[in-house]
Each structure stands twice: as structure tokens, then as C-alpha cells.
């Protein structure tokens, strides 16, 4: 799925035992509808379909005729379950471990609690107040934090963004450097296809096709850290003083040469000696 990406299956459509051959195209494909062979020019691919037209118009069922194709047969099943097949996935938990390095300050920090108890991460669940050092997240809670309901996304899938944000003041103890977690909804539909191939008893190649729906979690990490240092502070202070000095000169030039009452300002600023 990509770097820093996790996919959790919540629903699927299976098409079993497909083999390469000829079969009627699905009537859900508009380019496959026909009434005679002339509607199915041989060698033309079916637009948004599953194969190449053979030149024949054949019966798909008792009421519909479609173009015969050469491809993986039978054609892909398109019947979507009315309810998610893996609805219990909402109770799954995700363990997200992250370590941040601030090389300028020679400082590293992990988002997990440093503990010798091996059972801690098996029993804890993240809570921003009571358990901020346990990066074990319940899937349902993550979806709700993104502003959605698990049942709504589980049927057709969706994409959730997970942002781990570090903002550390290194003048304070290292224990106070803790990440914050933010969840956002990126898309309300997500699916892809995958297939497993195998040889039959007659040395014929078969495949099982799966169209998978589910939740895609895109994880990103942003971080910044700061620490007091006398040298940058002195440089900033000196720059400020120089700026105010330059501002005074500019004001004098404007009042002496550009202002309508420049003569009055000149007399007040300078004293003539005779």
C-alpha cells in the first residue's frame, strides 16, 4: 500500500475459480449490451469491461443478451454485501510506534512508555489524558476522532489520516516531550483488487479474484523542538537595537526633507550659531 500506510479489510467481493476463456460479459457494462452479433465487433475491447469481444452476441440470462468476451471467466462478481462482512474489525487495535530524533540537540524520544512490564501494551489503550504513553489505538475510536462512524466507512471503505505531532521545549524535562495525535477523514471510499493464482488438475491456470474494501491509514510525523541559547538571543537583541537605530535615521530624513513642515522641524532639531 505504500510507506507509512496500513490497510484494514472490512468488506470484500470474491470471484472464485476464474480461468481464461470465453463467456458472456456482465450486463452492468453498457458497452456489452447487444441484440445481434453485429453489435459485438470481434477484437474490440469492452469499454470498462473484462475482456475482448469475440464477435458473438450471446444470452447472459433468460432476459438479457451481452457480447461474448475472451478473458478471465466467469466475469467478476459485482454484488456488494449489504452489510460489512468484517464488521467486528472496529474492535481491532493498532500499535503505532514512533521515534523522533532532533539531531541538533542530540535528543531522541519514543512515543511508548519505557516499562519492564511485558503485558502493559497488551492491556492498555490510548487516552490523551490518562494514558498518553500507550500508542495502542482502537479502530472505532480512530474513525470517530476523524468525524465518521465505523459502520458508514466499513461498507465501501475509506481513508483516514493519522498525524503524530511533536512540539518539544527541551528546557523542560524529557518526560514532558509527548506527541499529540490528530485524525482526519481523507476519503469516504477505498478499494482495490488482488488475486491468487494456482494450477488445476488439468494444468489449467486459475485465479481467485478479491475486491477488497477497507480502511486505509496514512501515518505522517511532524516535529519541532527548541532550547534556550545565549548566542541566538544576543544576536536577536543586537539586531533589534540596530533596527531601532536605523528607524530613527529614516524618520529624520522624512521629516527634514519630505514633510510639509520640514522648516519647523529643522529649527527645532538644529540650533544656528552666529
* Per-residue pLDDT reduced to its tens digit, 57-70: 999 998 999 999 99
pTM of the predicted structure, to 2 decimals: 0.75
Q: What's the mean pLDDT in 129-155?
A: 90
Asked if the model's pLDDT at residue 30 lies above 70, the reply is yes
Domains and CATH numbers, the chain: 5-10+80-226 (2.60.490.10), 26-73 (no CATH), 230-269 (no CATH)
Q: Are 186 and 154 in contact (CB under 8 A)?
A: no
| pLDDT, tens digit, 9 for 90 and up, residues 79-96 | 888 899 999 999 999 999
In percent, the amount of the chain with pLDDT more than 70 equals 82
pLDDT at residue 258, rounded to an integer:
60
Comparing 117-121, 142-146, 209-213, 238-242, the range with the smallest average pLDDT is: 238-242
pLDDT at residue 273, rounded to an integer:
53
Q: Are 34 and 226 in contact (CB under 8 A)?
A: no
pLDDT band (50, 70, 90) for residue 260: low
> Of 42-46, 167-171, 259-263, which has the strongest mean pLDDT?
42-46
Mean pLDDT of the chain: 85
Asked if the model's pLDDT at residue 266 lies above 80, the reply is no
Asked if the model's pLDDT at residue 247 lies above 70, the reply is no
pLDDT band (50, 70, 90) for residue 102: confident
| pLDDT, tens digit, 9 for 90 and up, residues 198-245 | 998 888 999 999 999 999 999 999 988 887 666 665 556 566 666 556
pLDDT band (50, 70, 90) for residue 1: low
| pLDDT, tens digit, 9 for 90 and up, residues 34-55 | 999 999 999 999 999 999 999 9
Q: What's the mean pLDDT in 136-157?
A: 92
pLDDT at residue 132, rounded to an integer:
80
pLDDT band (50, 70, 90) for residue 259: low
Q: What's the mean pLDDT in 5-13?
A: 93
Which three cell numbers mark 97?
Answer: 510506534
pLDDT band (50, 70, 90) for residue 262: low
Which three cell numbers mark 39?
Answer: 453489435
pLDDT at residue 246, rounded to an integer:
60
Q: Are 31 and 48 in contact (CB under 8 A)?
A: yes
Amino acid at each position: 500500500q505504500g510507506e507509512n500506510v496500513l490497510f484494514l479489510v472490512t468488506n470484500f467481493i470474491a470471484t472464485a475459480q476464474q480461468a481464461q476463456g470465453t463467456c458472456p460479459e456482465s450486463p452492468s457494462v453498457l458497452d456489452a449490451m447487444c441484440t445481434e452479433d453485429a453489435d459485438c465487433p470481434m477484437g474490440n475491447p469492452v469499454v470498462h469491461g473484462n475482456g475482448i469481444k469475440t464477435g458473438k452476441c450471446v444470452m447472459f440470462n433468460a432476459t438479457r443478451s451481452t457480447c461474448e468476451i475472451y478473458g478471465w471467466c466467469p466475469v467478476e462478481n459485482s454484488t456488494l454485501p449489504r452489510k460489512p462482512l468484517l464488521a467486528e474489525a472496529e474492535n481491532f487495535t493498532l500499535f503505532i510506534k514512533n521515534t523522533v530524533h532532533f539531531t541538533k540537540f542530540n535528543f531522541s524520544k519514543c512515543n511508548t512508555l519505557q516499562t519492564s512490564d511485558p503485558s502493559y501494551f497488551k492491556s492498555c489503550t490510548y487516552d490523551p489524558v490518562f494514558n498518553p504513553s500507550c500508542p495502542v489505538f482502537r479502530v472505532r475510536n480512530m474513525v470517530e476522532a476523524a468525524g465518521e462512524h465505523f459502520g458508514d466507512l466499513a461498507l465501501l471503505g475509506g481513508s483516514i489520516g493519522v498525524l503524530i505531532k511533536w512540539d518539544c521545549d527541551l528546557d523542560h524535562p524529557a518526560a514532558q516531550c509527548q506527541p499529540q495525535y490528530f485524525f482526519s477523514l481523507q476519503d469516504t471510499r477505498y478499494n482495490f483488487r488482488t488475486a491468487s493464482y494456482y494450477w488445476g488438475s488439468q494444468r489449467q491456470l486459475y485465479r481467485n479474484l478479491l475486491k477488497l474494501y477497507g480502511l486505509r491509514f496514512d501515518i505522517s510525523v511532524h516535529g519541532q523542538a527548541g532550547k534556550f541559547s545565549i548566542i541566538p538571543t544576543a544576536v536577536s537583541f543586537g539586531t533589534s537595537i540596530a533596527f531601532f537605530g536605523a528607524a530613527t535615521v529614516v524618520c529624520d530624513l522624512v521629516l527634514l526633507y519630505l514633510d510639509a513642515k520640514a522648516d519647523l522641524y529643522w529649527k527645532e532639531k538644529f540650533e544656528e550659531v552666529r
